Structures are given as C-alpha cells and as structure tokens.
Amino acid sequence: MPIYKYRARTKDGRIIKGAVEAVMEDDALDLLSEKGLIIVDLLETKQKKVRRFNINVGTIKHKDLVIFSRQLSVMISATVPIVQALKILAQQTTNPMFVDKIIEMSNDIDGGMRFSGALSKHDKIFSNFYVAMVKSGETSGKLDEILQYLADQMEKDYDLVSRIKGAMIYPIFIISGMVVVGFLMMTFVVPQMVKMLEETGAELPFLTRLLVSVSSFMNQYWYLIVLGVVVAIVILRWWIKSKPGKVTWDAIKIRIPIFGGLFKKIYIVRFTRSFATLIKGGVPIASALAITAEVVDNRAYEKLILETVDEVEGGNSVATLFSNSDIMPKMLSQMMVIGEKTGRLDDVLERLSNFYSREIDNLVGSLTSLIEPLILIVMGVGVGGMVAAIMLPMFKVAQSIG
C-alpha cells in the first residue's frame, strides 16, 4: 500500500510532519482531516519492493471468505462497531492464518485506517473487486448489505466452479486410468506375451511388430518417458504463466473445438455477474469495468473490457465495442443497450448472468454425455488393437500346426 508523507497545520497553528498509509491520495486526505489536521503538502513516496516469503499464503479458502463476509454483515447490521466485530470473528474463525489477518485488520482500523484500506493490504486474500465493493459500501453507508451481497456472489461463483469440476472428474479419472493401465501393459505384460510368440518362430504381422517396438522402447526407456512428461508439464505451466504465453493460451481456450464455447460462457458469466455487482454497489461504470477486467481472468476479454473503459470515458455506450466483437454474444450487447436506455443496466446484467449460468449447466451436461461414448470408443480401439496384435500370430501358429 502507498505511503504518503505530509506536512500539516494543527488546530493550534503548529506545523507537523509525518507519514500515513492509504490506498489512494483521497483516502490519505480523509484520514488526516479526521484527525483535525489542515494539509499543507502531501506527497506519495515510492517504496522499494521487499520480497516476502510466507508459506501460509493461499491457505485461506473460498469458504472462509464467504463465512467472514456473511457474519460480518450480520454484526454490522446489528450496529456492532467494526473493530469489535472483527475481534469477535477472530475468536470464531478456525483457520489460524485467517485469524492473524483479521486481527491485523482490526488493529489497522483501530489505528485510524478505513476498512477498505485494511482489506487492500491483503491483496492475496481480498481481490480488487472485493475491496471496491466494500469501499462503495462505506461511502453509501450500506456496508452490511454490500457484504451480504458479496457473500451471495462468491457462493454463486464457487457453485459454478464446483459444478464444472464435478462434471469433469469422471472423464479425467477414466482417461488417467487408461493411460496408467496402458503404460503398465506395454511395459510389463506385453513383453512377456511377445517373448512367448517369438519362441514359436512364427513370422509376426506388422501390427504385432509395431506393438513389440513400442513396448520395447517403453520397457527400456520408461524413465525418459516419465521425465519427458514431467518436464513438458513444468515448461507448459511456466509458459502459460508468462505474459506472451498467457495471451496465447487465453486465445486458444476460447477457440478450441467443443470446450471453446464452455470457456466463453464462463468468462461471460464472470463479466456480467461482477459488473452487475459493482454497479449495484454504486461503483462508477468506468471504474467497475476496469475492476471487472481483472476478475474475468482472460486476456482477450480483459483487452476488450479495458478498451470499453476508454469508450465509456469518451461518452459512448458500454456496448459499442461488444457489438462488433466475435467473443461477445450479440444478445449480450443488445440487452446491455436496452439496460442503458432504461437505466436498469444492473438488472439486465444480472438476468444475463443467470441465463448464461443455465447455459453452462446445459453445456456441461451435454459435454459429459458426449465424452463418455468417446472414451468408450477410444478404449475399444486401444484394447482391440492390442488384442489383435497379440492374437493374430497365435492364429497363424494354430493354423500352421493344424
């Protein structure tokens, strides 16, 4: 978080100097004004980046945030002071990592920092989207409603991801099992059977010779194959995390056959749901779009949304660029135009989010139904080819004996 150095005049006319930590310059001004200081100079200082190693980062689960938001909403609506509410939550929370963060936020707020500022210090836990919503709740005086709404939206996001993961577990399990069994067969079982066939002295057909060659290579160099797979996975993960790799991978994901349509709908749901939530929270449209661009987590959509920010700041419609883009459905841009004209853009976006969520459910169900027979076909071809390669020489031996 930025640190602002200030020079200010106290009520009795004295000039004092100091520093204050705040998210933005306006927040620093507000914090100092609340202390009764008249600002003379305010300057943001550039901090050197310090690399911190924290083994606990990432241990706070999505469920922890949902419970935190919902319980804090209830206590704030019951007029419990936020510092006291956070201390109560720290006692109730079972995740020790999260307890430390809640106590730290409580101390920051007790020291004069805003809740949104305290949250922004923990950007590995609370996203820009979450902080912006809380900040809008502080401004509007509806922090309890905003926190409740955030909890609801996070539960919807979690349910969406869980449904997709649940539908993919069976195909991934079957494919993984096929790969492992095939590898073991080719490495240990097939060589023994082939040895028996070679002892008969019969001429082996092409399919059997191919099977023998593959099996022999896997038997001798299985460690190279395993190492190659591991190295390939590591390189692929590194490439996807790199800037050019991320751009290329995101473009590939929305254009690959079968799954491309599913990825598009997932990103559209993220966009419509997050954008609607921010607008309902009172965040200006341009700021809401900039935050949503990060939430979508796809560079192609992020680029389009950030270009839309410039359009909006120039006085144009939100849907201007969407209507000419091949990654946004025509229905979405048309409905957004209607929402802008009627002043109900947040309601329209929420309806679109619900519509595309149902589309994802239907598509996931269809993909699951399609993948299962494809897996059976691949298994049948693989097992049939292996059996044919082994049985053909046996039939030839039997015929020669007969």
pLDDT (tens digit per residue) in 74-98:
888 888 888 888 888 888 888 888 8
* Rounded Cα distance, 278 and 268, in Å: 15
Backbone angles phi, psi at 20, to 5 degrees: -135, 145
Q: Do domains 62-154 and 174-402 have the same CATH topology?
A: yes
pLDDT tier, 24 (very low <50, low <70, confident <90, very high otherwise): low
Q: What does pTM read for this prediction?
A: 0.65
In the three-class reduction of DSSP (H, G, I as helix; E, B as strand; rest coil), residue 269 is classed as helix
Task: List the structure tokens of 358.
Answer: 């149902």
Contact 60, 97 (CB under 8 A): yes
Res 139 pLDDT > 60: yes
User: What pLDDT, in 10s, does the model give residues 153-172?
Assistant: 778 777 777 777 777 787 78
CB within 8 Å of 58: residues ≥ 6 apart: 124
pLDDT score of 55 more than 50: no
Domain assignments of the chain as residue spans, ordered by start: 3-45, 62-154, 174-402
CATH class of 174-402: mainly alpha
* pLDDT higher than 90, residue 197: no
Q: For the domain 62-154, what is the CATH superfamily, name and number?
A: Type II secretion system (T2SS), domain F (1.20.81.30)
CA distances from 182 to 153, 186, 187, 189, 394 (A): 43, 6, 8, 10, 21
Average pLDDT value for residue range 187-205: 71
In the chain, the N- to C-terminal Cα span, in Å, equals 87
Q: Give the span between the Cα atoms of 212 and 153, in whole angstroms.
A: 56
